[in-house]
Amino acid sequence: MESETDSETTLKELAAWGLPALREGHTAPADLVEMRRAVEAAAAVPDGVPWHRDSIGGIPCAVVEPEHGAVGGSADGAQPPVLVHLHGGGYRLGAPVMWIAFAHRLARATGHRVVVPDYRLAPEHPFPAALHDAAAVWQALAPEEGDGPVLSGDSAGGGLAVALALCARSVPVSPPRRLVLFSPWLDLTAASASFEFNAQSDTLFSRESAQAAADGYLQGLAAATQPLASPQEADPTGLPPVLLFAGTGEVLLDDAAVFARRAAGAQVPVETHLVPDLPHVWPVVVPDDPRSAAAVQAVARFVGE
């Protein structure tokens, strides 16, 4: 468990990130509060998963340990490498406990300790609160020199991961060693054509829900002017190698495809898996599909390179 002194040190060091100032939000509507309770209560944590809660950089996190004997694991007593995963939920839903099963699959396959931060949610905490929390966790975990942890994220967490990686290029800690994105939400204008041509095939996300989530997160800021909230048009030069997954039938297909093209154009190594007939964040939500198992194995190979 992190001490109060450690947390205060992290906050002082975080000043070097030059993040936008925190802003006041507003109370979440009752239906959103109830939805949060319902989805969290429905989360099933598999029996026997080695996980615990911790405070890292002053931010509550769920930490899932790799199993003994896994590649890069801790059978010999050495500390395993770390993978930080930022969860999705449109910046307004989600809690780490809902991602423990997925984090366990990642930890078991990669031999990494998987850290899932419980970053603050909108509308109570609008942009940039989630980014401040992600940066605090990164500041506490990343060494000043050498390889940083692996960074991953799904949906809104994918957008947050890209924003964090963009910021980490210019701060005195190690940037992510690898960046793994699952159906990332990168363009908060929700203006891409795939919102239209995949509207019928995507049952998990829609232009209406994206706009509502973006409004709650941005609260008066224009998405097109906030590259750390909507990083689709940010300069990707200097980002680490990227592994990207999306479904060809989801409304965020264009977010994934445009980012992959722009990153490749900036000489960032990009490996992209665009797979048909699977939903938004499919490696997370359909664990029994063989293609999801293959995706997790692709992550293990990618982070082991």
Annotated catalytic sites, by residue?
Answer: 155, 250, 280
Six-digit token string for 99: 């991602």
Residue type, 106: L
> For the chain, what is the HEC assignment?
CCCHHHHHHHHHHHHHHCCCCCCCCCCCCHHHHHHHHHHHHCCCCCCCCCEEEEEECCEEEEEECCCCCCCCCCCCCCCCCEEEEECCCCCCCCCHHHHHHHHHHHHHHHCCEEEEECCCCCCCCCCCHHHHHHHHHHHHHCCCCCCCCEEEEECHHHHHHHHHHHHHCCCCCCCCCCEEEECCCCCCCCCCCHHHHCCCCCCCCCHHHHHHHHHHHHCCCCHHHCCCCCHHHCCCCCCCCEEEEEECCCCCHHHHHHHHHHHHHCCCCEEEEEECCCCCCHHHHCCCCHHHHHHHHHHHHHHHC
Label the pairing between strands 82-86 and 113-117: parallel
**From the CB of residue 276, how many other CB atoms can be counted at a distance below 10 Å?**
9
C-beta separation of 282 from 275 below 8 A: yes
C-beta separation of 86 from 185 below 8 A: no
Rounded to the nearest 10 degrees, what angle do helices 129-141 and 4-14 cross at?
A: 110
